[in-house]
Every structure is written in structure tokens, then in C-alpha cells.
Amino acid sequence: MNKDRLLELFKLHIQEKLSKKEESEFLNEIYSMSDEQRESLIDEFIDKLPVEHHLGKADAEKIFRNIVRPVTKGRTFFVRFSISVAASLVIAFSGFYIADKYYNSSEDTISVVNDIAPGGEKAILTLADGSVVRLEGSSDSILVSKKNDVTIQVKDNKLLYKKDPKAQAREIKYNMLSIPRGGEFQMVLPDGTNVWLNAESSIKFPDEFPSDERRVMITGEVYFEVTKMSGEKPFIVEFKDKARIEVLGTRFNVNAYENEGSVRTTLVEGSVKVVSPLSKNSSVISPGQQATITGDGLLSVKEVDVDEVIAWKNGKFVFDKANIQTIMRQIERWYNVDVVYSGTYTKHYGGAISRKVNLSRFFEILELSGELKFGLNDSTVTVQEK
């Protein structure tokens, strides 16, 4: 996208005049930029502001106090103000981003006894014979197992299964890939389907698929890019007896964490059929739709922001009108911590931040809401109201 087009979209975004398509175009471009490119964009935008839009230091500091107000309604990415070195008016696309770039106050800092690094690539592979292999991401080729006609290796940060095409049919054996708290991992199934697993997730899969179907069982959150095969050989994802997703070739995300209270299937591309075994209801969803199955089996479908749903796969936290409990459940899984609350919380928040920052940095940014205070002692986080 050329710079003039991006600046024009930036201006329309601030004026809340973007169409849904334009906003998606703008945010996708912003997500793909480096920090330096985003800073350059803001600086260039400031330079183009009329003189009357620049503020004195006192007024700018007053506006600065309103950074990252809790979101009670409206859009995730909202206009906020901060101070540049020259005390000019600075306008940007995300409260979290503004805080990360401009906030340097030493007031009301979080209570940190120790800090916690973000999660990374790690997993536990349990083979059909009961043997357990601990995995970490590696760009080198590492042989995990070679038994009978199946070779298992880690290459380019992916777990790969390869079956000798000349091998004869045999009894199918199941393996389990489990991701602990503070981990994530990517794998390629025997049919070529790409799978991304979030923290505290798992997938049970065969070392080769039978001729009539491809079936896997999951827990937690998993993103699939399913390989389309010739003939009718459906790909089926099951979560216990609560949900079943049937596809041929498509891209979709399944969130089935037990503590989220429902199973949510979000379609990125293609078409999937979502089935609630409990209620016997089913629905075929289209790209941009999310099917939700509640604990009692009720099935509903709605339109969602796909980029927000799959942000975890792309290395980001993205929240849109999320309460603090929803945010902290993601924090628990990614940073491997336990959270305790002191107070009642009714506010909702929106913003985006990299999953690569240390935990203290995440809290420092979130505290700019003026509503929350965090404490961190060993692996226990305390959330308090200010």
C-alpha cells in the first residue's frame, strides 16, 4: 500500500469514517508494519497536521491523562491522545500502542517481585507405545522417532509426520501432542494439514489416516489449514462429546477451553459444518462467522472479527470490549501464572499488544486505563482496582 493511501485511511479512521472493508485494509497494513514503520507513520501524520491542531504542553498533558480509557461501547481501535517530545497533538490507532510508544511515567508502577518472560515453542509428544518426547522449536532437522514406516521429525519449528508411501496397510496408531502453559507449537498432520496449537491445548491424531475419513480430537485452542484431498474424505474435529466440526478443505479456528464455557468455531476460509451432539443441531457457517456451542448444547452463529480471533496465531493479543477476566485467562495460559482478584470488575477494554513482551510490560500498559493495578509475586498475579 502506498504512503498516501495509508495516510488517507489513517485520517478516515480517526474521523470514524472508514467502511468495514477499509478498516480491515487499514488494520491489516498496520499489523504488518514494524514498530519503526508505525512510529514513522505517526510522525508523518503529525507533520501534516494543521498548526491549529497543535497543543500547548499544559493542554497536552491534560489529554494525556485520558489514554486508554476502558471501552464500554464502540470500536476496538479508537482515537486516543498522548504527548510527543515537542508537546504536539499525537493521534494513533490503538490505546495499547500509544501507551507502549509514549508512556514513560514512573507513577503508579506495578508491584513486581520478579518478571516473567512470554511463552515460546514447546510441546510434549506422547507416542502410541506410551513413550514421551519433549519438543522445542528448531530450524534444524531433528529426528524424533523412526518406527516401522513412519518418520517423525521437527524441522523449521514444525512437527512433521511422514509415512513411507510404499508401506502396506496396518493397524492405525494414535499419538497425542500436548502444549503446556507458556507454550505453543505447529505441526503438519500425515495428510499435509497444517495445525497451530495455543497454550494449554492438545490434539490426538493417527500416524496415518484411514481411507474414508480424517478424524482428530482436540482440547484448548487450535487453528487448522486443512488440505483438500481428491474424493470424499472429510476432515473431522471433535471436542469430547460437546462439538464436532466437519470440513473438506478450509481454514478455521476452534476455541474449546473448558474455562471459557463454550466451544467457538470461527471460519476463515471455505465452509464447515458445526454439530452439537448434545442437542443434535447443526449449522454450516461461512467465512467471517463463528458458531458457538454452549455447555448445554445450544448452537448459535454470529459475525465476528476474524483477525481478532486468530491474533494469537499471529503473535498478538487483541481484545475488543473484553472484561478483565477474559483478558487474564489468556495471560494465565501464555505466561503460566495463576490470577487472583481483589474487587469487582465491570469495565471492558480494547487494544492490541505483542505476545512477545514480558508480563510486567503488559501490565504496565494495561494500568494506563487508570482502573487497575497489578501485583506479581513468583507465579501469582493479583488484580486490584485503583
Domain edges within the chain: 3-102, 111-116+314-385, 120-309
Q: What was the pLDDT predicted at 166?
A: 66
Question: Topology of 120-309 in CATH?
Answer: Jelly Rolls (2.60.120)
Label residue 217 by pLDDT band (50, 70, 90).
very high
Looking at domain 111-116+314-385, which of 3.40.1440.60, 3.90.1150.10, 3.40.50.2000, 3.55.50.30 is its CATH number? 3.55.50.30
Report the percent of the chain where pLDDT is more than 90. 38
Report the chain's mean pLDDT, rounded to a whole number.
Answer: 77
Residues in Cβ contact with 385 at an 8 Å cutoff, skipping those fewer than 6 apart: 342, 343, 344, 345, 371, 372, 373
Radius of gyration, alpha carbons of the chain? 23
Q: What was the pLDDT predicted at 349?
A: 82
Calpha distance 263→213 (Å, rounded): 23
Q: What are the respective helix, strand and coil percentages of the chain, to the nearest 5?
A: 25, 40, 35
pLDDT tens readout for residues 75-98: 333 222 222 222 222 222 333 333
**How long is the chain?**
386
pLDDT tens readout for residues 7-17: 888 777 655 57
Kindly report the pTM of this predicted structure: 0.71
